[in-house]
Amino acid sequence: DLAETVALVEKTGQRVIAEHVDVRDLPALEALAERAVSELGGIDVVVANAGILSWGNAWELSTEAWNELIDINLTGVFHTVRATVPHMIRAKKGGSIILTSSSAGLKGQPFTLAYTAAKHGVVGITRGLANELGEYDIRVNSIHPAGVRTEMMNVDGLFQMIQGKAATLGPIFMNTLPHESMKPEAVSAVVAFLASDDSRYLTGAQIPVDLGTLNR
């Protein structure tokens, strides 16, 4: 996916810096941000999208699984912000920060306790950071997708748990629109909107791209 993205950017005649960096590694993220500013001139838009998913009964979740998911899905978002925001403030040009949460960040989704907790935490980062950065004309918003057709959707164990609770907890996962999942482009379009000047007056918002699942 990264190689494809690089090729698409270069096809437009633009320059791209692409590196594999673990969001749990703050010094590595800071070094990448420094390189971006040094070589490309600045940071105008930040998208924190890294994430993993685990599932099972909450009382059976191991400490190791909890820590790994929280470190990536929540602390990783903080690290991304921590590494980039100082550059945006110093540039005095404003900007847009876009944090990927989930429909699970706005409802009590069962069978994914660590994921649900982390995605709720992303909402807290969004809302608090939007207030702190408002004076710098840096807006901060979160996106809340339902199921997206990526590798993260290969979760047979979770689907089996949902089917086993079809008459009780299963409806929490139901969508209003007649689709089980979305193409990634559905989310990318909202990212592009939030990165653009069309959203210049929008901050601290939670944007659902959720097939109506939060409307239930």
How far, in Å, CA of 8 to CA of 150, rounded? 19
Residue 50, both tokens:
């890294």
| Known catalytic membership, residue 115 | yes
Q: Residue 106's closest CA among 145, 138, 135?
A: 145
How far, in Å, CA of 193 to CA of 140, rounded? 13
User: Quick check: 209 and 105 in contact, CB under 8 A?
Assistant: no
Among the options 99, 115, 144, 146, which is catalytic? 115
How far, in Å, CA of 166 to CA of 51, rounded? 27
Query: In Å, how far are 1, 66, 110, 127, 143 from 117, measured between CA atoms?
Result: 28, 10, 11, 16, 16
β-pair partners for 145? 209
Cα-flanking dihedrals φ and ψ of residue 9, to 5°?
A: -65, -45
How far, in Å, CA of 210 to CA of 143, rounded? 9
Residues marked active site are found at 115
